[in-house]
Structure 1
Amino acid sequence: MNEMTGNLRTAIFLLSILSFFVPSATGFKLRILHTNDMHSRFEQISKNLGKCTESASENNLCYGGFARLKTAIDDEFKKAKEENITTLFLNAGDNYQGTIYYTTLANSGELKFIDEIEALTKEATRLHNEGIKIIIAVGHSGYDVDMEIAAKVPYLDVIVGGHSHTFLYSGTPPDIEVPVREYPIMIKQKNGRLVPIVQAFCFTKYLGKIDITFDDDGEVTSATGNPILLNYKYKEDVQVLRELNKWKEKLSESLIQNVGVTKVLLDATECRFSETNIGNLITDAFIYHAVKNNTGKYWTQAPIAIQQGGGIRASINVTGSNGVLTREDIMTTMPFFTSLSMVKMNGKTLHEGLEWSVAQYSTERHVGRGQFLHMSGMKVKYDLNKNPGSRVTSVSVRCAFCDIPRYNPLNMTEEYTVLMPTFLKLGGDNFTMFKYNGTEILRFG
């Protein structure tokens, strides 16, 4: 059993500290190449982060993948050697779950997670007292927590982060991604120290690259760079492709069997920010599954379904496949293998869940939240200019015990039956109201 202690907002999958003695030469420059949230994108991906089709590849419209990443890293290390710049390659975590290559993590044993700031402060202080002058934190807490860490942890010099899939960029972005902020983000501590924060989006589409200059005391004096777009200009490494092909041949035929057809792009690009057609499809499919297995008097037991945006991991592009969906497409889009729970709750609990869906949503920056809910059987209006906890302005819900399904205003005391990933029923993404105030009456899968 994992024990979670402290004020931990997000489980850290990777947290390490790198430390250096500063060379005597003034103006020591360090280059960091970095990745995060690769999520099993061993093969190249499409512009909107889905599977790269054969036709897209032939037209140089694909990005990333481990073979292309290998080429870019080799090129950058070669340049650094020519420029005589000390260079590190760092990975901020989340390599697994995302495609059929790597879907589950082995048993991690018993872990105890403590508060990031508490742990980092203790370790950074110890290293500082031992004479270490440059301390780099490599973690997986997300954009907001990284900024808090940078502001509060003493002696910390650089943060290489992940988890929130944040795209940072200075200047005109090279592709469709909209930068949240500049690269790097520079946080000034109360004593005036500057701490740069970097992250390189997700799914191997970019390789982060930052040059940092330190003074003789190991303090940051400048930090510049940008993520590198891994497009067709970087050829795929032949040796890595050869190794990948060995594993492709081992994939079961059942994983690439045809399961459906679509005539449109099923777009997950905005699934952490707004309603999407793929989110609608998924939640409608939950409803259909319940209807198909319903033996009651009325059309369904559960007329409402929800799915968090963080569980939708890729778009499904029909280009080059005649719209045919495979099991591989489904597993890439929803790789977490959670079961489906039918949960009974009152309107107040459902309303609390909808509020939490947008509680951390900010209109000031393009930072997506995994808890943003997609839905079927509800019509919800939000006012994001209001304070968190008061953003839901109206909710209509579809009736279950009716001859003709229709929408009625949400009643706080009435009971509703909602379909959701079991992950949410267990309190995932901090939906604790479902865990403690919802009753699971049936589980599929």
Structure 2
Amino acid sequence: MLPARPERSALPRLFLSLLLAFSVSSSSAAWDLVLLHTNDVHARVEETSKHSGKCGGSSSGCFAGVARRATEVKRIRSSESNVLLLDAGDQFQGTVWFNYYKGAEAAHFMNKLQYDAMVFGNHEFDNGVEGLMKPFMENIKCPVLSANIKPDKTLASTFGTSYLPYKILNVGGEKVGVVGYTSQETSALSKPGPHLKFEDEVPALQLQVDKLQTLGVNKIIALGHSGFTMDQEIAKKVRGVDVVIGGHTTPSSTQVTSISSITFRSQLEAQTSD
């Protein structure tokens, strides 16, 4: 399997769609997976200009917004069989929508778009754990992931039960594992409080990827919010990860390794081949 880094937009905080074909080699028909993902949305419910201001008179100078995002997701879902919609963190902070609704707006619109999974970004903790739980975690319907956030006993039975290290999704009869990670620097960048530990991403991910493989999952996506440099480290060092989707930084498309397809052997072939 080839660890690879999908392409992201050069424009910050804007919606991005990415199509990847995962082909499973077997006697049956080929299986393709389309990945759509967002990162660093930062409460951009309304459209914006490329300078993060109000749009002008021409629609060509406008980007993002929930309406555009929903239209694109609907278009792709109607034309493709196996589609996942993922978010790489930082739905919180950035506009008056967050200032007023405190994250409830993010949960509302993510539910409307039917996201399959998301990860915590550092800004999700800007109002503390309590400010994350009530407006967002108690309303969001998709699984929220992070393999490297460890609560102490104070939060173990509350916040610690609200998220998962990974999620196995059944897509078109195939198991796809999505494992999450969050910046180890979150304690310095935000306000998660004293009861959460943000561990080193690489060993935390490796532990969960190994678990996924023992469960027979051989298509694994690392979805996280630690920045481009860490994304590259994960792609290089975490064995068994096929695709890394990251947030926190928004490198230009020329900096990012893009792939159009990954071919997997089926479990049966892997067991019987030399």
Q: Structure 1 CA distance, aligned partners of 2:239 and 2:34? A: 22
Q: Map 1:322-401 onto structure 2 (within 5 A).
A: none
User: How many equivalent pairs are there?
Assistant: 155
Q: Report what 2:239 is aligned to.
A: 154
- Of the three residues 24, 28, 32, the one matched with 1:29 is 32
Contact 2:36–2:85 at 8 Å: present in 1 too?
yes
Contact 2:25 2:264 survives alignment (8 Å): no
Percent identical residues: 35
Q: Determine the structure 1 residue equivalent to 2:204.
A: 119
The match for 2:229 among 136, 141, 144 is 144
* Superposed CA offset, 1:202-249 (max 9, x none): xxxxxxxxx54432247xxxxxxxxxxxxxxxxxxxxxxxxxxxxxxx
- Distance (whole Å) between structure 2 residues aligned to residue 71 and residue 137 of structure 1: 26
Quote the residue 1:74 is aligned against: 74
Contact 1:30 1:213 in 2 (8 A): no
Aligned to 1:183: 258
| One-letter amino acid of the structure 2 residue matched with residue 46 of structure 1 | S
- Distance in 1, Cα, partners of 2:84 & 2:25: 16
Q: 1:154 to 1:26 in 2, by over 3 A?
A: farther
Relative to the length of structure 1, the TM-score reads 0.32
Aligned pair 1:94/2:169, yes or no? no
Match of 2:63 in 1: 63
- Residue 98 of structure 1 deviates from its aligned partner by 0.7
* 2:235/2:241 contact within 8 Å kept: yes
Aligned partner letter, 1:102: F
1:38 to 36, 41, 48: 41
Unaligned segments of structure 1, at least 5 residues: 1-19, 169-178, 185-210, 219-445
SS at match of 1:139: strand
Q: Is the 8 A contact 1:27 1:215 kept in 2?
A: no
* Matched-pair contact (CA < 8 Å) for 1:31–1:212: no
Change beyond 3 A, Cα 1:52–1:148: same
**Range that drifts further, 25-34 or 123-132:** 25-34
> Alignment partner of 2:61: what SS?
coil
Per-residue CA deviation, residues 71-101 of structure 1 (Å, 9 max, x unaligned), is 1111111121xxxx41111110101111111
Q: Distance in 1 between matches of 2:256 and 2:93?
A: 27
Q: Are 2:193 and 1:108 equivalent residues in the alignment?
A: no
Secondary structure of the corresponding residue to residue 68 of structure 2: helix
**Structure 1 pair 153/92, CA: closer, same or farther in 2 (3 Å)?**
same
Could you say which structure has the higher helix fraction? Answer: 2
Give 1:182 shift: 4.7
1:214 aligns with 2:210: no
Uncovered stretches (5+) of structure 2, i.e. residues with no partner: 1-21, 103-125, 131-194, 268-274
Once the 2 structures are TM-superposed, how far is the Cα of residue 180 of structure 1 from its aligned partner? 2.8
In the alignment, is the contact (CA less than 8 A) between 1:27 and 1:216 conserved in 2? no
TM-score (norm 2): 0.51
Closer/same/farther in 2, CA of residues 72 and 42 from structure 1, 3 Å limit: same
Q: Over the residues paired in the alignment, what is the CA RMSD in angstroms?
A: 2.5
Cα displacement (A) at 1:61: 2.1
1:59 Cα offset (Å): 5.0
By relative contact order (CA 8 Å, sep 6+), the higher-ranking structure is 2
TM-superposed CA distance for 1:63, in Å, is 1.1
Distance 2:266 2:204 in 1: 24
